[in-house]
Structure 1
C-alpha cells in the first residue's frame, strides 16, 4: 500500500462525512474513488469495503464497543468514535489483516488527527475487543426477537419491529441477512448494440465475472472490475448500470413502438433509456427530474446510449404540465421513497430514515400521483413503483389511488418470468424482497386508465 495516501484516513473521512453531515455514502465513496483513481485495485477495494462494511454493521459495532469501553460510543468525540468503528470492522470481519496491525494503525491515525492524549484509550479499547470478541453478549433471541435481530443484523429497532409484524421472523431474517450480503453490480445489456452473450464474453476477457439474471435475459451481475467508468464497453454505451428490479418495472410498463412516454422522476435515467430501447428508437420518452444536476445525469447517459427517441427535462413532478394532459400512452412514476429496499447498497439510509419521514414521503408520493395521472390518455397505462418494502408507501398508496382516480389494476403475469408470478401479480402488482428474490427490494404496479 502506498505511503503517499493513508487509506485508513480516507475511510475515516468518508465515515465523518456520512455520519456527521448526513451525506449519502455511495456519493461520498464515489467522489473519493474518483479523486484517487491512481490508487491500486487493492487499495480502492479496501476503502470501499471498510467504509461500506462499517456503515452496514455500525449498530452491532457500537454495541460491541460499548461492552469494552468505559466511555460509551455516543459520548465519544466523533473522530475517535469513527476510528474505533472502522478498526472494529477490520478486527471482526477482515481476517486477512493482523489484529496488531489494525490496533497500531488506529493509534497512529488517532495521533495524526491531533488526539495524542487519547491514543492510549483507543489502544486499550481495541486490545480488549481483540481478546473478547468471541465472548460478546447478545440480547435473548426468544425473549426479545426484535432487539436481537436489530443487534445481530445491525438494524434500528423500529425497523425490525415493523418487519417482524409484517413478514414474520423467517422472512424478516432472510431480508436482514440479504442486506449484509455483498451487493453485486447489476447491469443491463444494450441489446440494440450487442447481444448479452457477446457482452459477457468481452467482460470475461478482462477478468470480470458475469452472472446472468434469472429474471431478465438482458440483465447480469458483474464482479471483479476496478473502475467501471474506465471500461470501454461502458464508454461505448454497450451496457447501463441498473438493478434488475427497476428493469422489471420497465418490463411491466411494456411500452409499444411509437408511444408517448413520461418518466416523471427519472434520474439517473436507467429506466428511461430502457423504455426508449424497447421502443426501438421510435416515439418519445420524456425523462424528467427536479434539478439541473439530476437532469445532467440523465443527459450524460442519453449521450452515451446514442438513442434519439428520448429527451431530458427539468420539471417538478408536483407541478401540473398543462401541455402534457392526456397526451401520454404511458407514464412511469418511480417515486421518491424511504429506500428501505436498497439498504444493502445504501446502508446509511437506515440511520437517517424515521417513521415520521416515511409518512412525509407517503404524502409526497400521493401529491405526485395526484398530478401525473393527468398525463395518461384514456386507455393508457400508469406504472407506480418504489424501491422500498414499506406497506404504507406501496399497497396502501395503491389502494388510495384506486379509490380516488379512474384507473384499474391490470394483470402483470404476461410480462414476468414464471418464478415471479404469484397471487398479487395476477391482480397487477409485485413486491420484491431482498433475500427472497435475487433483486433489490422493489414495488411495482400496472394501472390502466378507464375509457377507450
Structure 2
C-alpha cells in the first residue's frame, strides 16, 4: 500500500462511517487518527482536510458528479460514490494534487475495495470532470437552490433561515460556515498566564496562538496536529470551548458558594467554566443521561483538576424531588438541531430534518418544564442552544415566560456565525422572582 493510497483509504473509511452508517464526523475522524497514530503530520492533515472538505462541499460535489455521470450519485454503490466524491474534492479544492494523480489513485482504490469492474467507470467520470471542471455552470435561481449548491447546505435549512433573517445575513452565515477557523480554547488565568500558555503551545508545535477578541481567557489556536499530543492539554491547562459557550457562563451571576446544576452537561465546558468562577467554593453538579456522557464528564473533570464539580447520571426529563429549589443557578444547555455549529460539525446538516427540529423544540419545552423547579427563588435558569433556529430559541423562551410567570427575562442573545466572532449560539437568562 503506497503512502498516498493509504491516506485516501483512511478518508474513505471515515466518510463511509459518517454518511452510510451515521457516525458523528468528529468522532469518526478522531477514532481513525488515534488508531493510525504512526502516520506523520502531513498524512494526518491530508486525511482531515479530505474528510472535512468533502463534507463541507458535499452537495456541490454531487452536483458536479451528476453533470458527468449517467448513473447519478444517489444511485451509485456507496464505495464508488465516495471514491468519486473525495476525488472531485481534491480536483476542485486541492491545487497541489495533480488531476492525473487523483484519477490514478481513485482507480487503484476502487480495485482494492473489490470493484475491478467499475474501475473504468471511475476513471472515465473523473477524467471527464477534470477536463470540464472550470466550465461547469451552476443554478442561478431560486436563491435557496443556488445557495444550496454553492454552499452545500440543504434547501430546507436555507428556507428556514430566510424566514428569520435578511438575505445578506443568511449569505454571511453560509460564507462563514465554509470558512476555515482556528480552535477556540479557554484557560484559567489563576492556573497559567496567557503569555506562559502561549509560549507552551508554540513550543509544543502549535503554529499560531492568538487572543480572542471577546474574552481575555480565550485563545485561538491553529496549525497543530492532534490535541492529545499536546502536553499542555493533557495537563489540563486549557479546555476546548467556543467563545459563545463561554459567553453563556459569563452571562450568569455566579457568586462564591453557589450551588449550580448543569442538567445536560457533557462534555463539561460550561460546568467546568462555572466551577472556575466559583474559585474553589460552592459546588457544580454536572448531570447527563448516559454512562458514556458521564464518563466524558469525569474524564474532563479529572484532567482539569477541578474539585468542586461532580458528574452524575440523571435524566433531565425525570423530575428530581431532592433538587427542588436547591440551585442558585440551573444551566440548561439542551439538545438541539446544532445549526449554529455547522462549521465545526459539518455532517449535522445532512442528518438533521425539519421534522426533527420541531421535535427537538418540543423536547426542550418538556425539559425546561422539569428543571425550572430546581431554581431557588431569586436564582437563575440559563436556557441555551447551539442553533440559530428561532423555533428552538426565541419562540421557546417566549412560551416559557408565558407558561411560568414567576420567571422574568434578564438577558437574551442570539449569536450568529459571521456576524459575531463565535459559533451560532442562543442564550436566555431567566430569573425566578422572590415569592
- Which TM-score applies when normalising by structure 1? 0.94
Match of 1:113 in 2: 113
Paired positions, count:
433
* Match 1:205 to one of 203, 210, 229: 203
Match of 1:346 in 2: 345
Match of 1:435 in 2: 418
Instruction: State how 1:265-414 maps to structure 2 within 5 Å.
Output: 265-405=264-404, 406-410=406-410
Match of 2:169 in 1: 171
Q: Is the 8 A contact 2:325 2:373 kept in 1?
A: yes
Match of 2:250 in 1: 251
Q: Which secondary structure does the structure 2 equivalent of 1:342 belong to?
A: coil
Q: CA deviation at 1:3?
A: 4.0
CA–CA distance in 1 between the matches of 2:235 and 2:5? 32
- Which TM-score applies when normalising by structure 2? 0.98
Instruction: State how 1:28-67 maps to structure 2 within 5 Å.
Output: 28-67=28-67
Match of 1:17 in 2: 17
Match of 1:446 in 2: 429
CA–CA distance in 2 between the matches of 1:289 and 1:429? 25
Q: Which secondary structure does the structure 2 equivalent of 1:429 belong to?
A: strand
CA RMSD of aligned residues (A): 1.2
Match of 1:149 in 2: 147
CA displacement, residues 237-270 of structure 1 (integer Å, 9 cap, x when unaligned) = 1100111110111110231110000000000011
CA–CA distance in 1 between the matches of 2:3 and 2:126? 24
Which residues of structure 1 form unaligned runs of 5+? 411-427
CA–CA distance in 2 between the matches of 1:319 and 1:96? 55
CA–CA distance in 1 between the matches of 2:333 and 2:275? 16
Runs of 4+ in 1 over 6 A off after TM superposition: none
Q: CA deviation at 1:190?
A: 2.1
Q: Which secondary structure does the structure 2 equivalent of 1:238 belong to?
A: coil
Match of 1:421 in 2: none
CA displacement, residues 176-196 of structure 1 (integer Å, 9 cap, x when unaligned) = 011111132110012231112
Q: Is the 8 A contact 2:286 2:310 kept in 1?
A: yes
1:84 aligns with 2:101: no
Q: Which secondary structure does the structure 2 equivalent of 1:285 belong to?
A: strand
Q: Is the 8 A contact 2:204 2:231 kept in 1?
A: no
CA–CA distance in 2 between the matches of 1:324 and 1:127? 64
CA displacement, residues 6-34 of structure 1 (integer Å, 9 cap, x when unaligned) = 11111111111111111110110010011
Q: CA deviation at 1:2?
A: 5.9
Match of 2:185 in 1: 187
Q: CA deviation at 1:63?
A: 0.2
CA–CA distance in 2 between the matches of 1:194 and 1:2? 44
- Larger deviation, residues 165-174 vs 95-104: 165-174
CA–CA distance in 1 between the matches of 2:129 and 2:164? 36
Q: CA deviation at 1:331?
A: 0.4
Q: Which secondary structure does the structure 2 equivalent of 1:178 belong to?
A: helix
CA–CA distance in 1 between the matches of 2:196 and 2:253? 25
Q: Which secondary structure does the structure 1 equivalent of 2:378 belong to?
A: strand
Q: Which secondary structure does the structure 2 equivalent of 1:371 belong to?
A: helix
Q: CA deviation at 1:5?
A: 7.3
Q: Is the 8 A contact 2:261 2:285 kept in 1?
A: yes
